[in-house]
Every structure is written in structure tokens, then in C-alpha cells.
A and B are shown apart, each in its own frame.
Chain A
Amino acid sequence: MTLTTVLLIETLFPNGISHYLLGGILIGVGTAIIYLGTGIHAGASTFLESTLSYASKLSRFQQPKFIASRDWRVVFTAGIIAGAAAYSITLGDFGWTTEVQPSRLFVGGILIGIGTRLGKGCTSGHGVCGVGSGSKTSIFNVAIFMLVAIGVAQLVMALGVTP
């Protein structure tokens, strides 16, 4: 590799590539295990709606597809939490806390809740399963949320809000 290439890679990926790639592969393997066993394309955001079916009588949430999947979606989410916990406890950095302001997390969360439900998926449903399926709908959705998120995050940074 030429010096320019090395410098370019160090500029684009100051923290290296391997943990990103390995983490991504594990996300794919977890999704693939569920798919091979059950035939289901597991996305993370339907958990929000299906879990609301335990508490809300709205017919919107009482749809058979949410009732049928709400138990395993809770188990899926519990698995995600447990896997991340096991990893961070093993590494000894459990308890790391974000410095992103709670108000940003909360308002961002509301928009994520609305947007993923309206748009039929999130980073895992559209971003991993949909893109992995070569779905034009998902590729389009990912392109939109990626571009919009970049614009908003750049704006937040330009306004001097950190992190």
C-alpha cells in the first residue's frame, strides 16, 4: 500500500475497521440463526408495537400479527440486552454512560418510534434484513434515513452541541 492509501484509511477509520466488521458479522449471524430456525426476518423495532399490545386495547396494537409475535419479540430483545451485557461485563467496561443529553434521547426516541412504525422498519429490519434481501423498498428507506440523519447530525454539530 502506498503512504497515501494508509493515511486515507487512518483518516476515514481512526479507530480501525476490525471490530466494526466483526460486530457487523455477529449481528448478521444472530439474524441468520433466527431466520434459519424460524423463517422470520427479525427486526428490532416491531418490538415497540407488539409490546404495546400487552398494555393497550387499541385495535391497532391488538392485531393478530402482534399478539402472535409479542412473546418472542420480548425474548429477542432480552437476548440483545443479555448479549451486550455479557460482552461488556467480560471486557470490564459495563456501566459506560452516554453524554448525549436525555432530552435529545427522548425527543429522538419519539421520532424513531413514529418513523420506524410508519416506514415499516428500522436499521435492522430495513438496513440488515431488507438490504440483505435486495429489496428496493428497503434500500430506498435506508438511503432516506441515512441522508436525513447525516444532515441532522451535521446541523447539531454546527450548532455547537456536543457530543
Chain B
Amino acid sequence: MSNSTATTGSTATKKAPEDHDQSPWFLPLVFVGGFIFGIGLALSQMARPEVVLSFLQFTDFGLIFVMGGAAAVVSGIFFVASASGRSAPLSGRRYTRRLKSMDRDVMVGGGIFGVGWGLSGICPGAAYASLGIGNVVILYGVAGMFVGAYLQGYLREVRAGTAATQPAD
């Protein structure tokens, strides 16, 4: 068996750059941010699909305050920080707003996500939090999300491969 421990030096492959390389505080900070994010999802009860469905079915409009409250906080911080022209201490990245380009995928993807959200009452962040509150049944949903993300990536890769072999129009 040639499965011996890799020797350091010549055989060691160069490690791909990672976002958290710059500072040892990067990952702990992300954990703290995620932790508070998770408390918010549990406290607001968005981690419960029933509560999300009660919003979508017009029996309790409280969810407006969850997304609205979060977006309001983020809006203030994003605008002040991006206007300052400074960069983040743990990465050196310049503070920017989140602006994505508009295309047909944004509409089609939003529609497909909407069908899934309305059918199940779960979305990615809320599903992780749901696991945290001990709702193990949510693993069906999380498994589905991985299957869906894989399918989307697989189909996109296959189509890109086909397109590459065809002459450009």
C-alpha cells in the first residue's frame, strides 16, 4: 500500500486560498454571527415551518417584522460602512453593498424557490435553525436542498459542456 503519510516539502500541494486565511479571528467571528442569527431565527419562530405557513396563508402576518427588522438593521450598517470607503479588519475586503446582476435566472429561480417555500414552509437558514431546535424531521428538507443544489449544478455543467462543443452563434 502506498498510503503512507504525505511527506512535507516537494510532495505537498499548494493550498488553495481561503477567505479565512487572513486572520485567526475570522472563523470565531463568523460563528458568533451565526449564533446570534440562529437565536433570531428561533426567537422569531421562523425555524418552525408552521409559523412560516401561517404567514403565507394570511393567518399571522408577523413574519413581515422578521424580514423587515433584519433588513432594516442590515440596511443601516451596509450603507454607513460602504459609504465610509473602509475595508473589513479580518479580510481586507472593501465594504460594499450586495448588488447582483439582473437576468432571467433571478426570476425563474425566485419562482422555483417560491414553490418550494410555499409547499414546505422552510428556507435554508430557517432549516438549519430548525435542526438546532431539535426538529430532526427537517433533515428531509435539508437533504432535499442538497439534492436540488446538486441537480442544478449538474445540469448547468452538462449544458455548459454541450454549449462549449457547439460553434458560437
Measuring CB to CB, which residues of chain A are less than 8 angstroms from any residue of chain B? 12-17, 19-42, 44-45, 47-49, 51-52, 56, 58-61, 64, 67-69, 71-72, 75-88, 93-100, 102-138, 140-157, 163
Whether A85 contacts B132 in the complex (CB less than 8 A), given A28-B72, A106-B143, A140-B106, comes out as yes
Which residue of chain A lies nearest to B44 when distances are taken between CB atoms in the complex?
Answer: A23
Whether A119 contacts B156 in the complex (CB less than 8 A), given A23-B40, A39-B95, comes out as no
Whether A49 contacts B153 in the complex (CB less than 8 A), given A34-B29, A37-B29, A128-B74, comes out as yes
- Give the contacts of B59-98 with A (CB-CB under 8 A): 59-75, 77-78, 81, 87-98
Tell whether, in the assembled complex, residue A27 and residue B110 are in contact, meaning their CB atoms are under 8 Å apart.
Answer: no
Tell whether, in the assembled complex, residue A60 and residue B109 are in contact, meaning their CB atoms are under 8 Å apart.
Answer: no
Could you list 18 further interchain pairs (A-B, Cβ under 8 angstroms) beyond the known A114-B109, A128-B74? Answer: A20-B44, A25-B69, A28-B77, A35-B74, A37-B25, A47-B124, A72-B27, A75-B30, A84-B41, A84-B42, A84-B130, A86-B35, A103-B140, A104-B119, A110-B144, A137-B106, A149-B115, A153-B121
Tell whether, in the assembled complex, residue A44 and residue B128 are in contact, meaning their CB atoms are under 8 Å apart.
Answer: yes
Residues of A within 8 A of B94 (CB): 39
Q: Which of A14, A80, A136, A155 contacts B128, CB < 8 Å?
A: A80
With A and B bound together, what is the CA distance between A163 and B78 in angstroms? 37
| Interface footprint category on B | 35 or more
Tell whether, in the assembled complex, residue B151 and residue A38 are in contact, meaning their CB atoms are under 8 Å apart.
Answer: no
> Is the CB of B6 closer than 8 A to any CB of chain A?
no
7 shortest interchain CB distances as A-B pairs: A113-B148, A79-B34, A119-B109, A109-B144, A23-B44, A108-B120, A24-B69
Residues of A within 8 A of B37 (CB): 26-27, 30-31, 42, 76, 79-80, 83
Tell whether, in the assembled complex, residue A105 and residue B134 are in contact, meaning their CB atoms are under 8 Å apart.
Answer: no
Tell whether, in the assembled complex, residue A106 and residue B144 are in contact, meaning their CB atoms are under 8 Å apart.
Answer: yes
Whether A120 contacts B46 in the complex (CB less than 8 A), given A60-B157, A112-B145, A148-B111, comes out as no
Tell whether, in the assembled complex, residue B71 and residue A28 are in contact, meaning their CB atoms are under 8 Å apart.
Answer: yes
Tell whether, in the assembled complex, residue A34 and residue B126 are in contact, meaning their CB atoms are under 8 Å apart.
Answer: no
Nearest-neighbour CB distance to chain A for B141, whole angstroms, equals 4
Tell whether, in the assembled complex, residue B137 and residue A98 are in contact, meaning their CB atoms are under 8 Å apart.
Answer: yes
Nearest-neighbour CB distance to chain B for A72, whole angstroms, equals 5
Q: Which of A44, A87, A154 contacts B42, CB < 8 Å?
A: A87
Measuring CB to CB, which residues of chain B are less than 8 angstroms from any residue of chain A? 16-20, 25-27, 29-50, 53, 56-75, 77-78, 81, 87-102, 105-138, 140-154, 156-157, 160
Residues of B within 8 A of A100 (CB): 49-50, 53, 120-122, 137
With A and B bound together, what is the CA distance between A20 and B56 in angstroms? 15
Which residue of chain A lies nearest to B110 when distances are taken between CB atoms in the complex?
Answer: A144
Can you pick out 20 interface pairs between chain A and chain B where the beta carbons lie within 8 Å of each other? A30-B36, A37-B90, A39-B87, A40-B91, A42-B33, A58-B154, A76-B30, A82-B31, A87-B38, A98-B49, A114-B116, A115-B112, A116-B149, A120-B109, A121-B100, A129-B98, A130-B98, A132-B78, A144-B107, A153-B121
